[in-house]
Chain A
Amino acid sequence: MKHTIQQVFRSGKFVFGFAIFAAVLLIVIFYPLIITDGPLSIIGQGTFFPPGIYVNVYDSMSSTVYTLNLDDAAAKRIASKLNEDDRLALKEWLMAAGVSEAEIDTTDTQKLLDLWVNNYDSKKSIPGMTNAKRNYYVRLNTALKGLMATEGVTVSQFNLQTQTLEEVDAVEQSDFVNITEVANMRVLPLGTDNFGRDVLTELVAATAVSLKIGFVAGIIATLIGLTLGLLGGYVGGIVDDIIMFITNLFIVIPSFVLLILISFSIGQEQRGAVTIAVVIGFTSWVWTARAVRSQVISLRNRDHVNLSKLSGHSLVHIILSDILPYIASYVIMALILQISSGILAEASLSILGLGPRTTEVPTLGLMMNWAMIYQAQILGKWWAYLPVLVTIALITFSMNLMNTGLDQVFNPALRD
């Protein structure tokens, strides 16, 4: 046993796959211990906040202020509100309003702004200008207000007794706060989803659920396949015929279609994560059964099996001690593949809206489903679906890699 494990861990592919899988597993186990928020708690008011560090504005006003005199601060500030396209758009409007082209210098911000402030009128109708364009100019005009100002901003508080605004603070343009000193900040490495939930927290919880579904489905499928394969292969005859008949029946029906039909007919009320796992397990055992059977048939007439038969050992004993050990490595490999395909099946089902009904826990497929419903892929909100895809890919990739590694170790035809 020890030797076998040593051998397995000498396979580069297996080790690599195992490392990825272990990393995913560790994250799934330890992340919830560090970030204790509920995976489904809605924290963002609004959809698809981009990934980043969110710093509380209110708290940062009361944090210690540091003055940093940076040369390019003003230029950066202006560039964030007035880019090259905006400058050209300003020029376009001014020319349409009758300002001569020679007067307009898009590189001189101050001059351009003066010209703009003196000429712009949101009510003025410019022939051929669309409403979308006019809205754009209104927005731009608002953004440009105070752009060239050098003085700071006053923060005031409303005094209920005197019904007046009282100055409480002033923020200078050169004021900075140290992010570590702000009372409230939140890192959202993968932003938020359409519900305003933290995608990373949700993803970790979803991965755990998906792994659980994968394991349950994989174990069920492997157990059924193994039992039928062993019986059919070893007993043979009419038992084999019946088993193979059933197996063939299942083979001709595409298992995913079967899966869809069953999940649909179960109805949403009963569709918990475990139910879905069981359904997946019961529809995907077929090829395991066939493969195990053929392995068993080749073992059936070996000498040690015949010896065991002559010694009067029972059927169960022969199967468990003389046949099973010889195909154990193969079964483990099949199990790994079953687990990974179980995870994929759950994701595919959930994308169709036929996955588990879960209001307590998310699953990878459900996350994809919601991202799609809210058109994340069209709006370019990659953080809502790409990490989910990558996670699914990583899990199945690592399992397939482990499988290939095992194959190299156990399959004599592939052994170096």
Chain B
Amino acid sequence: MSKKWYVLASLLIVLSMLLGACGTPPAATEAPKPTEAPVEPVVTEAPAEPVATEAPAEEPVDANSLPRNETLYFNGQQWGPVVGWNPYSSSNNNGLAIAQQDNARVTMFETPYLYNMLDGKVYPLLADGDYAWNDAQTEITFKLKAVAHWSDGTPVTADDVAYTWASHVKYNTSTGSGNKDYIETIEAVDAQTVVVKAKLDADGKAVNPLIVAAYLSSNYVIQKAWTETLEARSADATAFTADPAEDVVWSGPYYKFFTDDTKVVMIRDEKYWGQDASMWGKLPAPKYLAHVIFKDNAAGTTALQAGEVDVSQQFNSNVNDLWMKDNLPISTYLPEAPYQIGASLPTAFFNLKSYGLDQVAVRKAIAMAVDYPTIIANAMTNQSATFDQAPRSLMNPTAGEQALYDATAVADLQWAGNDIEGAKALLDEAGIVDTDNDGWREYNGQKLSYIATCPNGWSDWQAAIEVVAAAGKEIGIDITTNYPEWSVYQTVVTKSDAPLPEGYDIFMMWSDGAGPTQPWSRIRKMMSSEFVGMASNWNGNWGQYSNPAADELIKAIPTESDPAKLKEMYTELVKIYLTDVPSFTLMYRPQSFHTVNESVWTNFPHGEDGTNPPVPPLDLTDGWSIAGLYNLVLVNP
């Protein structure tokens, strides 16, 4: 008997071990994904100081010998290792070299013109002189500088510009698909002259002249010969954009020196054409641009404090403590709050399909009750202009945009926030009251209960959402918070061809910053119904708002050139926006955070640096801000 049991038991154990062994694989496959999230913050506990202090020791030999006096260190631009150097690709993850945007990053590749967000003008880079529209406003002509040449010594020609555009269209890159509805062709008239022909509508007028002109300052010129090499080795469009392009030819002042998963280094091109007197007249001051890849903001801040980072493009909370309390040689663009130039409008969108949120009164009441001064003081640690300084509209707080609408005409619509009584009165008036005395208001008998959300780990947004939720409680609307991971959040929010799911009643997203098509483009992305119905909508209007009057104005503005008329149209749009409240801005945020440590380099752009044209605080890499690289000097030469 006992022997029988023994055999049975051993069999069972063997079986269970087998089962256990079989059971392991699912556990193993499951493990890596979720562990990812936990593993990260575990290390954060120890203030990540080791990362910063150890980093130099871990540098590989070739990049280890970077002389401090010739190197400009960044943070906040590069997270994770570089994927490639292909200017046709939009997934290079290459924060120092590639970003084709309103303020294009021009360290390695160059655009014909440079946009300056401070004065709203463009300045020629590869181009020679200003561009010119023809009388009918259907095509732009500009010339290229004869001295401009590629890294292989050959000149930059109009052919390169034309071929770049043709390739963008042919391989349907993001630049191609984003612009082909507005640009017909780009042609080379002669070696130096380029003509950009706009797409025309039924009346023979350009569909959108704003976007056509903006192309010139936001997209690189790429060498035709190299593009052909790339085409020869690429089987199809996917291979074309996926190529890491280690052999790419560039025209800019810096190129690849070293990359691995701890840092990226670019080295100055001593043969850079821009040292010609017709452009900068000299080479940029730092020989190396280096970016250590930090684990998180805290590690980046520690490195900035230690003087291991010169230019910081990340959110450093309570930045003024760095000089007021710690007496470090650190400064921001402006010496006092808001410290930075606000350019974009992080905004809370309402899901207009959520129960009760289709009522303007509910939306406006929530927006009126939110305590904005607290969001700005606490979540942004005062690194945002207040709504007293720049009352809410669709404009960013720069003087240029503020002048584009008539503030007095909409003054009675611009709520200041923290208006609990006003919000309650608004709801009472609309008949949305607490009918069953449970402390929460009902609309048609159903309790108003919402979830406010933003991605997990986005600290300033999370803190702002907490303040929104607190406001709901004050006026009898139950708002709770929820923070999904970004990977989940982005797929849900950008799906605009179906109503948003539960849990996304009030959610935060960004807006456009400063650029040559602003504020038009920002307003379009906040309000235009053209994005409703898109399966993958990375543009805007994620709350799926639709108003034909607004759509019409948004369509008309690009072709309007009379400033008085424009102002009227913008004012009307602001009026619609503040009346319908499809979303509400929570704070102003700079285009790039710009905090510098002057331990090694000095003469960074700042509010009173006296530069003309003014150098914007965009990390010395984007648009006209690259001019700042030529002004840098050493503190101790």
- A residues apposed to B, CB below 8 Å: 40-42, 44-48, 128, 130-133, 135-136, 138-139, 194-196, 237-238, 241-242, 245, 249, 253, 257, 260-261, 264-265, 268-269, 351-354, 357, 359, 372-375, 377-380
Point out the residues of chain A lying under 8 angstroms from B301, CB to CB. 375, 378
Point out the residues of chain B lying under 8 angstroms from A139, CB to CB. 335
CA separation between A128 and B463, bound complex, in Å? 40
**Which of B35, B316, B463, B604 is close to A260, meaning CB atoms less than 8 Å apart?**
B35
Determine whether the beta carbon of A379 is less than 8 Å from that of B13.
Answer: no
Residue of A at shortest CB range from B321? A379
Interface locus among B164-172, B324-332, B570-578:
B324-332
CA separation between A128 and B371, bound complex, in Å? 44
Determine whether the beta carbon of B38 is less than 8 Å from that of A352.
Answer: yes
Residue of A at shortest CB range from B27? A253
**Which of A48, A138, A195, A353 is close to B37, meaning CB atoms less than 8 Å apart?**
A353
Instruction: Assess whether B444 is interfacial by the CB under 8 Å rule.
Output: no
CB distance from A365 to the nearest CB of B (A): 11
CA separation between A41 and B635, bound complex, in Å? 47
Residue of B at shortest CB range from A380? B325
Determine whether the beta carbon of B38 is less than 8 Å from that of A354.
Answer: yes
Point out the residues of chain B lying under 8 angstroms from A45, CB to CB. 373-374, 377-378
Point out the residues of chain B lying under 8 angstroms from A352, CB to CB. 37-38, 41-42
Determine whether the beta carbon of B318 is less than 8 Å from that of A48.
Answer: yes
Residue of B at shortest CB range from A196? B378
- Do A131 and B602 contact each other (CB < 8 Å), given the known contacts A245-B16, A353-B456, A379-B317? yes
Point out the residues of chain A lying under 8 angstroms from B316, CB to CB. 375
CB distance from A148 to the nearest CB of B (A): 24
Point out the residues of chain B lying under 8 angstroms from A269, CB to CB. 451, 482, 503
Point out the residues of chain B lying under 8 angstroms from A261, CB to CB. 30-31, 34-35
Determine whether the beta carbon of B37 is less than 8 Å from that of A132.
Answer: no
Point out the residues of chain B lying under 8 angstroms from A377, CB to CB. 47, 298
Question: Can you name 28 A-B residue pairings with CB atoms under 8 Å?
Answer: A41-B470, A42-B374, A42-B470, A44-B378, A45-B377, A46-B381, A128-B635, A131-B331, A132-B328, A132-B598, A133-B329, A133-B598, A138-B335, A245-B16, A261-B34, A264-B34, A268-B456, A268-B483, A351-B44, A351-B45, A374-B381, A374-B463, A375-B301, A378-B47, A378-B301, A379-B317, A379-B318, A380-B325
Instruction: Assess whether B297 is interfacial by the CB under 8 Å rule.
Output: yes
Point out the residues of chain A lying under 8 angstroms from B9, CB to CB. 237-238, 241
Determine whether the beta carbon of A132 is less than 8 Å from that of B31.
Answer: no
Instruction: Assess whether B223 is interfacial by the CB under 8 Å rule.
Output: no
CB distance from B511 to the nearest CB of A (A): 23
Most chain A CB inside 10 Å of its own CB: which residue of B318, B462, B467: B318
1/0 per residue, CB under 8 A from A, across B431-462: the answer is 00000000000000000000100001101001
**Which of B373, B480, B598 is close to A131, meaning CB atoms less than 8 Å apart?**
B598
**Which of A41, A245, A353, A374 is close to B457, meaning CB atoms less than 8 Å apart?**
A353
CB distance from A241 to the nearest CB of B (A): 6
Point out the residues of chain A lying under 8 angstroms from B298, CB to CB. 372, 375, 377-378
CB distance from A133 to the nearest CB of B (A): 7
CB distance from A96 to the nearest CB of B (A): 14
Determine whether the beta carbon of B41 is less than 8 Å from that of A351.
Answer: yes
Point out the residues of chain A lying under 8 angstroms from B606, CB to CB. 131
Determine whether the beta carbon of A196 is less than 8 Å from that of B374.
Answer: yes
CB distance from B291 to the nearest CB of A (A): 20
CA separation between A42 and B462, bound complex, in Å? 15
CA separation between A369 and B325, bound complex, in Å? 24
User: 10 tightest CB-CB pairs across the interface, nearest first?
Assistant: A130-B598, A264-B34, A132-B331, A132-B329, A373-B459, A135-B335, A130-B602, A352-B38, A45-B377, A260-B38
Point out the residues of chain B lying under 8 angstroms from A237, CB to CB. 5, 9
Most chain B CB inside 10 Å of its own CB: which residue of A245, A353, A373: A373
